[in-house]
């Protein structure tokens, strides 16, 4: 180790013990100098020697994190030139000065654009008439100047298009300050509201705004009403969600008729509605919550349409007249199907649009309200993803969607539901030598431990795919019913063009194969998520796609929990692991309901106050199951201001690994001291983070340049 680095670590660590023998010696966790935290529960004793790392106010903790960062920097110093090369390579494929497809809202076309050298978007609009001049309504670069982190929570224009409500976060903690700009005069209003969440909606009067606040745990729980120009202290409470397992937010129907307050847990929901023209009125409950029943509303004609899982595990669509909302009056509009999950429902003046999943693939089905016919938008590729755009216009037959695949860059289409024709509005341009036909995507299946067939999506470069096993990058998520759909990435080409295969394991805990796929990967079936992933990795090895020594795996957040679990279970199966902001200290987090999201998570992981759930979580919690064995090369990241996975989770996990594991393989912790869960906010800084991770992979695999 270079002398200056050792001195820096010694200085930074202060009371933290540092071992200096050898050139590759990391800062040693100070377990001998700290009293462990001991928790006794259900006859078990949890010993946590690194609990002291939870105190972010402690100078010692900050010095420790900085020391780990210094060590990571030193160990990756031989890749600095490679990191710069990768960054420039990735950036060179991006059209730095670019324009989004304009979206019509009433008499304006709204869009965003980027400029070369600038980290953030510029939001603009112009009139719909030909030759109308551009008007910049919000330049993120202006607000982000001199700030290490910047993110926009909401940009929402009033119904008359005269006032912009905007919210910004400069720490990564996802606490946004809400402000207002007069778009006619450029005036910034004095009204400033701190610590709001993402939910903001205008009433029809162009002066009343509803916004959402959070409690001490970060749960969105309180909706308030603000009248522009009045003191913030006079804002009225509209709705407070008091159940700690529920969060709340406010939306608006696409026809702008109703304001909608939704309260949801992982398994139950409840909706309140109010005429947007009477913002001081009282919201009315559509259907009182009932445990296990989820539903959402859209408004069309004289009907509420209800997407619900009542008596339908994969959801169905009901409808009822506005003046008769009692559940006994609902009639079925789309029946449930065992093999088709209904993801979403959207309304247009003459059509309803249904987003579905069948056999793991997404579909868009639309209904013509005049003819009563259902039709599908056709897609041709074997492996693809499609998602509806915002579609803010109600009175139109055009539905905009985004289409992409592992080989097709994101493409924006307008589909005319009356004519049955799609128009390509834009395909994201990939600069350089990229040619779609040079790459091949496919879908294969691995047999899980219980016999279930798990899909795997793969992409590789045709001329680099032969009979020899390749370096392979395998990723997955597998929680919250969040589907990991295949998508295109120009950044990923830096792997594919060097002979890597890229693979996504569509494991249980997601919702790719329907709601039962999610139910079989949560609570007391959570281990299916981990064994599914291991089965996918083994299948890729056994079928010759790769070898154990050529396999790197990656996951973030709950996907980081996956990384921690599988590396404890099968450390021999992987050459390298990248765990981004990983949820790895499951027990200590879930036993502390004062922490963000914990009570809301009981329906995902279980309540550890109940012995059955406690013991099951303890059996897979990555931090609690670190053992004296050999581990792969590992890179673990964290964010100091992360409100979702506290920074100390990856820090404690790495500390315990350092003190416990038997090998001398590379183990790095990199904590972003200026960001939160999503990492760096600027588009160039984000690319630098990916370049760093790729450089770690190439270093470990010995990829030559």
Residue 26 has pLDDT above 80, yes or no: no
| Per-residue pLDDT reduced to its tens digit, 327-372 | 889 999 999 999 999 999 999 999 999 999 998 899 999 999 999 9
Residue 33 has pLDDT above 60, yes or no: no
pLDDT at 9: 31
Beta carbons within 8 Å of 83's beta carbon, 6+ residues apart: 76, 688, 691, 692, 695
Q: What percent of the chain has pLDDT over 90?
A: 90
Pairing of strands 551-556, 576-580: parallel
CA distance 511 to 590: 24
In SS3 terms, 217-243 reads as CCCEEEEEEEECCCCHHHCEEEEECCC
> What are the catalytic residues?
557, 642, 677
Q: What is the CA radius of gyration of the chain?
A: 26
Closest CA relative to residue 608, chosen from 532, 626, 620? 620
Q: State both tokens at 612.
A: 């059955």
CA distance 186 to 459: 48
| Per-residue pLDDT reduced to its tens digit, 534-568 | 999 999 999 999 999 999 999 999 999 999 999 99
Query: Does an H or E element contain 140, and which?
Result: helix 140-144
Mean pLDDT for 193-211 is 96
Intra-chain end-to-end CA distance of the chain, in Å: 25
| Per-residue pLDDT reduced to its tens digit, 51-61 | 999 999 999 99
pLDDT at 597: 86
Place of tokens 């868009």: 364
pLDDT at 642: 87
Residue 655 has pLDDT above 70, yes or no: yes
CA distance 20 to 31: 17
Query: Does an H or E element contain 10, and which?
Result: helix 3-13
pLDDT at 381: 85
pLDDT at 24: 52
pLDDT at 83: 97
| Per-residue pLDDT reduced to its tens digit, 49-103 | 999 999 999 999 999 999 999 999 999 999 999 999 999 999 999 999 999 999 9
Residue 16 has pLDDT above 70, yes or no: no
- Helix, coil or strand: residue 678: coil
Banded model confidence at residue 4, pLDDT cuts 50, 70, 90 = very low
CA distance 45 to 506: 36
Closest CA relative to residue 304, chosen from 343, 267, 331, 268? 331
Banded model confidence at residue 22, pLDDT cuts 50, 70, 90 = very low
Residue 262 has pLDDT above 50, yes or no: yes
pLDDT at 596: 86
pLDDT at 1: 31
Cβ 278 vs Cβ 268: under 8 Å: no
- Helix, coil or strand: residue 535: helix
Residue 13 has pLDDT above 60, yes or no: no
CA distance 117 to 269: 44
């Amino acid at each position: 180790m270079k002398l200056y680095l050792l001195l820096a670590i010694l200085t930074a660590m202060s009371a933290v013990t540092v071992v200096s023998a050898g050139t590759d010696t990391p800062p040693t966790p100070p377990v001998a100098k700290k009293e462990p935290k001991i928790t006794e529960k259900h006859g078990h004793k949890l010993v946590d020697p690194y609990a002291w790392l939870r105190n972010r106010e402690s100078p010692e903790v900050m010095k420790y994190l900085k020391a780990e960062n210094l060590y990571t920097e030193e160990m990756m110093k031989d890749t600095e030139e490679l990191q710069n090369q990768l960054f420039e390579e990735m950036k060179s494929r991006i059209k730095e000065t670019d324009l989004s497809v304009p979206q019509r809202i009433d008499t304006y076309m709204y869009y965003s654009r980027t400029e070369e050298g600038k980290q953030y978007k510029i939001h603009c609009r112009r009139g719909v008439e030909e030759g109308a001049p551009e008007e910049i309504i919000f330049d993120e670069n202006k607000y982000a100047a001199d700030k290490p982190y910047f993110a926009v929570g909401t940009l929402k224009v009033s119904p008359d298009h005269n006032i912009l409500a905007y919210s910004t976060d400069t720490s990564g903690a996802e606490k946004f300050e809400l402000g207002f700009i007069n778009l006619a005069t450029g005036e910034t209003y004095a009204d400033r509201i701190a610590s709001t969440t993402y939910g903001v909606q205008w009433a029809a009067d162009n002066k009343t705004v509803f916004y959402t606040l959070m409690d001490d745990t970060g749960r969105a729980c309180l909706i308030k009403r603000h009248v522009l120009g009045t003191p913030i202290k006079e804002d009225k409470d509209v709705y407070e969600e008091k159940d700690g397992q529920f969060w709340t937010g406010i939306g608006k129907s696409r026809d702008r008729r109703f304001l909608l307050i939704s309260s949801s847990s992982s398994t139950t929901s409840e909706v309140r509605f109010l005429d947007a023209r009477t913002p001081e009125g009282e919201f009315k409950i559509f259907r009182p919550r009932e445990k296990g029943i989820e539903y959402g509303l859209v408004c069309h004609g004289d009907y509420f349409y209800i997407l619900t899982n009542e008596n339908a595990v994969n959801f169905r669509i009901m409808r009822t007249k506005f003046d008769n909302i009692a559940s006994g009056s609902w009639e079925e509009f789309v029946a449930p199907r065992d093999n088709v999950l209904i993801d979403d429902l959207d309304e247009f003046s003459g059509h309803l649009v249904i987003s579905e999943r069948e056999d793991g693939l997404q579909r868009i089905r639309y209904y013509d309200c005049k003819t009563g016919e259902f039709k599908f938008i056709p897609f041709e590729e074997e492996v693809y993803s499609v998602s509806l755009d915002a579609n803010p216009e109600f009175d139109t037959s055009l539905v905009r969607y985004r289409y992409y695949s592992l080989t097709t860059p994101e493409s924006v289409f307008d589909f005319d539901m009356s004519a049955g024709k799609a128009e390509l509005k834009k395909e994201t341009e990939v600069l350089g030598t990229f040619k779609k036909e040079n790459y091949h995507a496919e879908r294969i299946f691995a047999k899980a431990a219980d016999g279930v067939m798990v899909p795997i999506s793969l992409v590789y470069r045709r001329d680099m795919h032969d009979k020899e096993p390749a370096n392979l990058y395998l990723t997955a998520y597998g929680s919250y019913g969040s589907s990991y759909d295949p998508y295109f990435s120009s950044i990923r080409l830096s792997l594919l063009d060097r002979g890597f295969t890229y693979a996504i394991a569509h494991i249980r805990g997601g919702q790719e194969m329907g709601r039962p796929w999610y139910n079989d990967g949560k609570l007391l079936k959570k281990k299916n998520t981990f064994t599914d992933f291991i089965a996918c990795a083994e299948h890729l090895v056994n079928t010759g796609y790769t070898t154990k020594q050529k396999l790197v795996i990656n996951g973030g957040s709950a996907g980081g929990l996956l990384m921690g679990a599988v590396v404890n279970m099968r450390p021999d199966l992987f050459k390298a692991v990248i765990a981004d902001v990983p949820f790895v200290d499951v027990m200590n987090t879930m036993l502390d309901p004062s922490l963000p999201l914990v009570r809301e998570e009981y329906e995902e992981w279980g309540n550890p106050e109940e012995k059955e759930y406690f013991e099951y979580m303890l059996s897979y919690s990555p931090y609690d199951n670190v053992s004296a064995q050999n581990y792969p090369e590992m890179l673990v990241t964290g964010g100091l201001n992360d409100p979702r996975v506290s920074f100390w989770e990856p820090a404690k996990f790495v500390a315990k690994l350092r003190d416990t594991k038997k090998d001398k393989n590379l183990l790095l912790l990199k904590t972003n001291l200026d960001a939160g869960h999503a990492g760096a906010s600027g588009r160039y800084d984000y690319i630098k983070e990916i370049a760093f991770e790729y450089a770690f992979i190439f270093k470990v695999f010995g990829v030559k340049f």
